[in-house]
């Protein structure tokens, strides 16, 4: 998600696109496929400029209305009027009501609300052979592959095209916010598909939902679904254990530092190393995940707070070592003075 300011008014999309005016492209246009929400935000702003309408108004008039999607909305005001409820963020596997704001500026890249019935109507529109809303020619273009970015996987006009586990052509897309996840897939040649909506999200739990999607396709092919996985993700356990160990070390250091004689030549380099590690964890995390820290806090809040706890624990250990070293040094100097 791209949270810029403001995100609440009807033209938040166009206003936020202006923030990209000085952004440098990572590659020349057309050189390399890169999935980007920012590009869809820009496309939405272009639509607003050309039509003279807000994105929400345009979608209501040209898509939601004609398809009979009565609960679908592309802004917060209409979403609330049609029954929108906030979803849940996952904390250690347990749902917690989300306080993440509705993002009007994200409508063109995925922040649209709709009921399962309305999404089923949208799926039927994609599968049916008619000219309603979109001509056959443009519907065929919509579902055509444009860029082959993996073996047996391509990207088109907002759709991923790959193969089912049984080797059939599969058109699909998924997406998530910090409090919800949606996936739609269909097999055009068979005229079947499914929509999966979930009112809770966590990046590490999405593998289970991907398996649900695979199982649904298996059921359509006459196969039995696999037993669902359960329990907390190993990464959560690993971070939890790490944090507990570090906190235990901090407590032990607090209890023992007055009773130990610390060697300056050992503790000073170690304390500096702890400071360096604590300072580098979050930048390394954001680099490895290619995600800004704000997005990490939104999509994996439990991991974010445990990471902060680990950073704070390491920094505190460094401070305690430094303090203990100074105390030991002072006591050593005092003993020399008394002997003199």
Cα–Cα dist 172/192, whole Å: 12
At residue 283, the pLDDT reads: 96
Does 6 share its domain with 98?
A: yes
Both 57 and 106 in one domain: the answer is yes
pLDDT for the residue numbered 31 = 82
Residue 171 to residue 145: CA distance in whole angstroms: 10
pTM of the model: 0.82
Q: What is the pLDDT of residue 6?
A: 46
Do 123 and 220 fall into the same domain?
A: yes
Query: Same structural domain for residues 313 and 254?
Result: yes
Give yes or no: residues 77 and 92 share one domain: yes
pLDDT attached to residue 110? 85
**Helix (H, G, I), strand (E, B), or coil: what is residue 221?**
coil
Whether 98 and 128 map to the same domain: the answer is: no
Q: Are residues 39 and 137 in the same domain?
A: no
Domain that holds residue 158: 116-231
Together in a domain, 50 and 91: yes
Same domain, 20 and 43: yes
Q: Which of 89, 114, 139 is the last residue of a domain?
A: 114
Q: Domains in the chain: how many in total?
A: 3
Angle between helix axes 264-289 and 301-339 (nearest 10 degrees) is: 170
- Residue 153 backbone phi and psi in degrees, to 5: -145, 130
Residue that finishes a domain, picked among 191, 212, 231 = 231
Last residue of a domain, one of 201, 231, 261: 231
In this structure, the answer to whether residues 120 and 71 fall within a common structural domain is no
Residues 267 and 191 in one domain: no
For the chain, 340 residues long, give each residue's pLDDT as a single digit of tens: 544 544 556 678 888 888 888 888 888 887 888 888 888 999 999 999 999 999 999 999 999 999 999 999 999 999 999 999 999 999 998 999 998 888 888 899 988 999 999 999 999 999 988 777 888 889 989 999 988 888 889 999 999 999 988 889 999 999 999 999 999 999 998 999 999 999 999 989 888 899 999 999 989 888 888 887 777 788 999 999 999 999 999 888 887 765 555 555 567 788 889 999 999 999 999 999 888 999 999 999 999 999 999 999 999 999 888 877 776 666 655 566 665 5
Residues 158 and 248 in one domain: no
> Which residues does 153 contact at the CB level (< 8 Å), separation at least 6?
160, 161, 162
Q: How many Cα atoms within 13 Å fall on the side-chain side of residue 147?
A: 13
The closest of 236, 208, 250, 253 to 303, measured between CA atoms, is 236
């Amino acid at each position: 998600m791209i949270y810029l300011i403001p995100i609440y008014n009807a033209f938040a999309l166009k206003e936020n696109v202006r923030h990209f005016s000085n952004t440098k492209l990572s590659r020349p246009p057309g050189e390399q496929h890169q999935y980007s929400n920012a590009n869809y935000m820009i496309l939405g702003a272009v639509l607003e400029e050309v039509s003279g309408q807000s994105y929400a108004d345009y979608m209501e008039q040209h898509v939601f209305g004609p398809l009979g999607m009565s609960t679908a909305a592309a802004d917060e005001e209409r979403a609330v009027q049609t029954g929108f409820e906030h979803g849940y963020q996952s904390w250690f596997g347990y749902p917690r009501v989300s306080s993440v704001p509705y993002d009007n500026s994200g409508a063109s890249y995925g922040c649209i609300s709709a009921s399962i019935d309305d999404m089923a109507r949208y799926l039927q529109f994609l599968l049916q052979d008619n000219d309603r809303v979109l001509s056959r020619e443009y519907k065929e273009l919509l579902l055509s592959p444009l860029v082959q970015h993996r073996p047996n996987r391509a990207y088109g006009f907002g759709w991923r095209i790959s193969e089912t586990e049984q080797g059939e052509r599969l058109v699909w897309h998924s997406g998530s916010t910090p409090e919800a996840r949606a996936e739609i897939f269909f097999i055009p040649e068979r005229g079947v598909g499914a929509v999966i909506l979930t009112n809770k999200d966590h990046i590490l739990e999405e593998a289970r939902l991907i398996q649900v999607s695979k199982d649904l396709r298996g059921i359509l092919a006459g196969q039995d679904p696999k037993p669902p996985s359960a329990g907390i993700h190993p990464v959560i356990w690993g971070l939890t254990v790490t944090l507990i160990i570090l906190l235990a070390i901090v407590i032990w250091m607090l209890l023992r530092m007055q009773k130990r004689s610390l060697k300056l030549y050992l503790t000073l380099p170690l304390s500096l190393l702890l400071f360096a590690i604590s300072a580098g964890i979050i930048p390394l995390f954001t680099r490895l995940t290619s995600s800004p820290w704000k997005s990490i806090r939104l999509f994996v809040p439990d991991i974010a707070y445990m990471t902060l706890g680990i950073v704070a624990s390491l920094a505190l250990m460094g401070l305690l070592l430094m303090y203990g070293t100074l105390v030991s040094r002072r006591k050593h100097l005092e003993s020399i003075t008394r002997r003199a």
